[in-house]
Amino acid sequence: MELFHRVGHDVRLTPAGAALIGPARQIQRDVETAKAAVADVAGLRSGSLSLCSLPTLAANPLAELVGTFRKRHPKVVVDLAAPETSGELQALLRSGACEIGLTEGIASLPEELVAHDLLTQQLMIILPPGAAQRRRRIAMDELERVPFIAAPTGTSSRRLLDEAFDAAGVTPQVAVVTAQRDAILPLVLAGAGAALVPESLAEEAARLGATIARPDPSVTRRVVLTHRRGPLAPAARRFVEEAVA
């Protein structure tokens, strides 16, 4: 069976070679796991950890989790990937490209993945400074005519926004669609529209002058750590143990 074929001066994978990439990555990961377990299972005096996270979870809680882990294990090198959707994140885990994923909890996972509950995240409405909605809670149907800044369709953030409005029987007025999560708060502060964001970002928005309100009914999401079933490398195992403790 040919895994490569030559095209001019280039060597390219055949379909069979491309199909071997995922299993080969997992074999390499398993070999590295075995080596690390024998050489340094207890002290984590070296090694690496590959993580992936949905973009809206990167600042909170991923940054704090990684910061705490690095303080305890400063010799471990952490590599972070940023898939846009839960499906992309699961694909990275299933292929062996990443060891641990931080994502929203869903009703069912692929059979080869396992999840650990981490926390429940509250989402808040942030509005431009001086917005009329100044109450601590606001019904979603009262925001029907308010322009919103939203993530692209297919992302977890957009799904949560659409579901919150759908439950109220109204359709959001999406004025700005952006995949740049770092742009959402500046856009709100500049008056481009409102947004549904994690509570930690809403607190930052309030400090910068934005108006914030808690949606009624509340909008929450379950945050989990997920990985392939089976043994993990020492660094990955320790990360999970410390995160869910």
CATH number at residue 158: 3.40.190.290
Spatial contact of 150 and 172, defined as CB atoms under 8 Å apart: yes
Residue 132 pLDDT: 64
CATH number of the structural domain spanning residue 14: 3.40.190.10
Reported as a single tens digit per residue, the pLDDT across 113-151 is 999 999 999 999 999 998 765 558 899 999 999 999 999
Reported as a single tens digit per residue, the pLDDT across 54-88 is 998 998 999 999 999 999 999 999 999 999 899 99
Q: Domain range spanning residue 25? A: 4-118+224-244
Domain shared by 13 and 113, yes or no: yes
Residue 84 burial (C-beta neighbours within 10 Å; 0-12, 13-18, 19+): middle
Tokens, residue 106? 């869903």
C-alpha distances (whole Å) from 68 to each of 62, 120, 140, 227 are 10, 20, 37, 20
Domain shared by 228 and 208, yes or no: no
pTM: 0.77
Number of domains in the chain: 2
- Specify the amino acid at residue 220: T
Domain shared by 10 and 107, yes or no: yes
Spatial contact of 234 and 37, defined as CB atoms under 8 Å apart: yes
Domain shared by 9 and 87, yes or no: yes
**What is the rounded average pLDDT of the residues 30-42?**
59
Residue 135 pLDDT: 59
Compute the C-alpha angle 162/211/173, nearest 5°: 30
